[in-house]
Amino acid sequence: MAGETRDDTHLAMLDALSRKALWLSNWMIHHANHIRPNASGVKVGGHQSSSASMTAIMTALYFDVLRPEDRVAVKPHAAPVFHAIQYLFGRQTLDKLKAFRGLGGAQSYPSRTKDTDDVDISTGSVGLGVAFTAFASIVQDYIRAKSWARPDMPEGRMIALVGDAELDEGNVYECLLEGWKQGLRNTWWVIDYNRQSLDGVVREGLYDRIAAIFKAFDWRVVTIKYGARQRAAFAEPGGERLRAWIDACPNGLYSALMYQGGAAWRARLQDDLGDQGDVSALIARRDDAELADLMANLGGHCLESLLDAFHGIDDDRPTVFIAYTVKGWGTPLAGHKDNHSGQMTEAQIHALRDAMGVRAGHEWAPFEGLGIDEAVLRAFLDRVPFNTGASRRLSAAPVAAIGPQAVGGASTQATTSTQTAFGRIMDAIAKTDTDLARRIVTTSPDVTVSTNLGGWVNRRALFAADEIADIFQRQRIPSAQKWHFSPQGQHIELGIAEMNLFLLLGAAGLAHELFGERLLPVGTLYDPFISRGLDALNYACYQDARFMVVATPSGVSLAGEGGAHQSIAQPLIGMSQDGLASFEPAFADELAVIIDWGFSHMQRTGAKTPDPVSFLPDAAGGAVYLRLSTRPVDQPRRAMTPALADAIITGGYWLKAPEPGCEVVIACQGVAMTEAVAAAGLIGGARRNVAVLAVTSADRLHAGWLAAEKARAEGARAEGAMDAVSPVERLLDQVPDHAGIVTVIDGHPATLAWLGGVNGHRVAALGVDHFGQTGTVEDLYAHYGIDAQGIAAAARRFTRGRRRRG
């Protein structure tokens, strides 16, 4: 195997491939920006310097160190290097490289869902891919503790290739602390320590801070500072003086000299070290080009040093490699403080091409100019461990749902809250001896008990690599919670950081593809704090992770908690977040149907084409968001028919159907249903028909409507069928044109205001549009006009208005 026979030929091979990866990544960006037609004139972009900085690190890893079971998050702006390497492996097409950053082309930042060259972990929002690796490792441990791990799949290392400025992101530190608590293993972070970010050169002394932080969390710190040629020079007479000069050189000056080249290095070194005997002679022995090469030979660009460092690790302790690099290494952009988005000129790229031995017109040739026989290179690539085996994207058979009846232990209560019902449903599932129960893994950022997961945890225990008994139980101190940790446990208790919650849900929600084992992750948190983890939630959805996030309390319904604990925008987040089916049920029986459906939805992987009835792309599956409340609500006494269950999943149904003379519809999502029903009673009656539309998912009704609109538009364009009708249109088709709709939600009124656009009904959109107060629910609902009186008042405007307009 490569890596085990590290002789000169092997190094020469790697060096050739490194040069090729450097060239192809730079050319890919040049081609996209300067050769491919670009009618709009809008910058295409791409990061030549950030790619160059990482080339040797990625060469050492991909062509030697990595094993098929390892999983890698590549620094987003090194995507071109990743695509180039996959191209050399024969796993990326030339067409995709030519279309880099174009429609259907290789993606700007590595993407699991959009790229076709086997991206392990998407990146783009800096810091998230880094932390994701830690949670992927925890998920790997979880699976192995259950003895599910596939016998053909050894334990992998979860590896992040990290830009040094990514360490500015707070989520990195949140994850370090969580990792320490969880006994993190098998995690490598390789920091591309080029001491430049986007805007410029970083502060002096950063290395010491970084190293100290990692050591504080019990990580091994491996510093790869000097290349082999530098180390050889340090061994020459006077070499120690040169090393001391390098160590003392400020980051900005080193970068500037890198940019200026050999003559500038000589002038500066002579100023500082001239007439000093051995070291002056050491410098004088080298011509300008050799001197520049020596000073550029930092550890992160030296394959030998990198391989030594990586192969030096033979245990599972989390390890950070701080690899000193130069941003733009090997290109004329090297070291310039503005090089982040800088690109080579035509003349510069041609000069680089010539230096690479690549002929004009042969820029994409994978093996041109390497001085090694193509057959030898191909044979080498075929033997590279990472390149052996089939697709790295694994799969796992779906776990069967158990039906809403089996999970619906809550529906017998006359009055209950959706959050109480959630706890009972989870408890009911926990009692079953089913694969579904076994594959669920729950997690919560220090709000397990207050989000009602206590019953589940009591039955299914907490996860930890080693048993930890519940001391309170042992001491016979009464407590409703049994907190027993064991490798069999199925709840991962997190610290408060919501970013970590969504990163873990993302990693666990990809267990089937990363590790070939199905997990059904359920995470609970406080609804307003979705915003705290929002980018990680978006990131999990972007990666197509499958999970269920259950958030309470909705809106101002936990009225006593006040503005900081009340959520307003969350229903709009639920609607606008791609890949997330969002529900806000009012009743417990709806919740049972939704949860049962949700576990199946989390496992579907079909086509994204809209269903002909719901107009939702449900065959493709996705993640699920449930917005619940702690407020008790009177429950309807009814049988759950298949038709009702379908409507609940589609997004809405008539709680009180419109009659032909209907003047007002009250459309309500979630916990304000109590007020909606009461308002209908106030204004309806013998004389006037008031209908009540129970919306379980504005998200899905809205998405179905847009999809039907699109289908009609396409039909019109093609002069084909235009008869697509979405569920919300079928519902509102029953409402007379002159009727008005009052929409009600404990959340932002825009969530339902669009209902007026469907058939042109007038709308009064009620909801919460300012920070909440403390008070009782009655106080607050009256304050926002979503109490029964407020709803009735809004409805009266319609009935009077109609008469006036006669």
Ligand X SMILES: Cc1ncc(C[n+]2csc(CCOP(=O)(O)OP(=O)(O)O)c2C)c(N)n1
Stretch that binds ligand X, among 161-169, 247-255, 260-268, 563-571 (CB under 6 A): 161-169
Question: Of 36-95, which residues contact ligand X (CB under 6 A)?
Answer: 50, 53, 76-77
Q: Are 669 and 696 in contact (CB under 8 A)?
A: yes
Stretch that binds ligand X, among 60-68, 158-166, 518-526, 604-612 (CB under 6 A): 158-166
Stretch that binds Mg ion, among 95-103, 188-196, 259-267, 506-514 (CB under 5 A): 188-196
Q: Applying CB under 5 A, does 163 fall inside the site for Mg ion?
A: yes
606 burial level (CB within 10 Å; 0-12, 13-18, 19+): exposed
Tell me which residue of 406, 763, 340 sits closest to 599, measured CA to CA. Answer: 406
Q: How far is the C-alpha of 44 from the C-alpha of 49, rounded, in Å?
A: 16
Q: Are 206 and 164 in contact (CB under 8 A)?
A: yes
Tell me the Ramachandran region of residue 147: left when phi exceeds 0, alpha when psi lies from -120 to 50, beta otherwise. left
Q: Which is nearer to Mg ion, 203 or 637 (CB)?
A: 203
Binding pattern to ligand X, positions 299-328, x when CB under 6 A?
----------------------------x-
Shortest distance (Å) from residue 51 CB to ligand X: 9
Name the binder of 276 from ligand X, Mg ion, none, CB < 5-8 A by kind: none
Shortest distance (Å) from residue 620 CB to Mg ion: 37
Residue 548, helix vs strand vs coil: strand
The pair of three-digit structure tokens given for residue 57, joined into one six-digit string: 């690190």
Positive or negative torsion for Cα 704, 653, 620, 576: positive
Beta bridge pairs of residue 144: none
The pair of three-digit structure tokens given for residue 584, joined into one six-digit string: 């806000």
Q: Which is nearer to Mg ion, 88 or 161 (CB)?
A: 161
Q: Residue by residue, what is the 3-state secondary structure of 613-648?
A: CCCCCHHHCCEEEEECCCCCEECCCCCCCHHHHHHH
Shortest distance (Å) from residue 200 CB to ligand X: 10
- Say how far residue 624 (Cα) sits from the centre of its chain: 15
DSSP 8-state symbol, 387: G
Tell me the Ramachandran region of residue 687: left when phi exceeds 0, alpha when psi lies from -120 to 50, beta otherwise. alpha
Question: Of 175-204, which residues contact ligand X (CB under 6 A)?
Answer: 192, 194, 196-198
Name the binder of 125 from ligand X, Mg ion, none, CB < 5-8 A by kind: ligand X
Angle at 82 between CA 76 and CA 86, to 5 degrees: 150
For the CA atoms of 188, 194, 198, 202, the dihedral, rounded to the nearest 10 degrees, stands at 110
Stretch that binds ligand X, among 162-170, 431-439, 619-627, 693-701 (CB under 6 A): 162-170
* Residue among 59, 140, 194, 297 that touches Mg ion (CB under 5 A): 194
Q: Applying CB under 6 A, does 251 fall inside the site for ligand X?
A: no
Q: Which amino acid is at 565?
A: H
Tell me which residue of 108, 87, 111 sits closest to 33, measured CA to CA. Answer: 108
Q: Applying CB under 5 A, does 48 fall inside the site for Mg ion?
A: no
501 burial level (CB within 10 Å; 0-12, 13-18, 19+): buried
Shortest distance (Å) from residue 136 CB to ligand X: 19
Q: Which is nearer to ligand X, 201 or 602 (CB)?
A: 201
Q: Applying CB under 5 A, does 196 fall inside the site for Mg ion?
A: yes
Residue 523, helix vs strand vs coil: strand
Stretch that binds ligand X, among 35-43, 160-168, 407-415, 464-472 (CB under 6 A): 160-168
Q: Applying CB under 6 A, does 166 fall inside the site for ligand X?
A: yes
Q: Which is nearer to ligand X, 141 or 169 (CB)?
A: 169
Q: Which is nearer to ligand X, 340 or 439 (CB)?
A: 340
Q: Which is nearer to Mg ion, 13 or 323 (CB)?
A: 323
Q: Which is nearer to ligand X, 76 or 772 (CB)?
A: 76
Name the binder of 751 from ligand X, Mg ion, none, CB < 5-8 A by kind: none
Question: Of 113-132, which residues contact ligand X (CB under 6 A)?
Answer: 125-126
* Residue among 164, 363, 596, 618 that touches Mg ion (CB under 5 A): 164
- Which residues here bind Mg ion, judged by CB under 5 A? 163-165, 194, 196
- Which residues here bind ligand X, judged by CB under 6 A? 50, 53, 76-77, 125-126, 163-166, 192, 194, 196-198, 327, 340
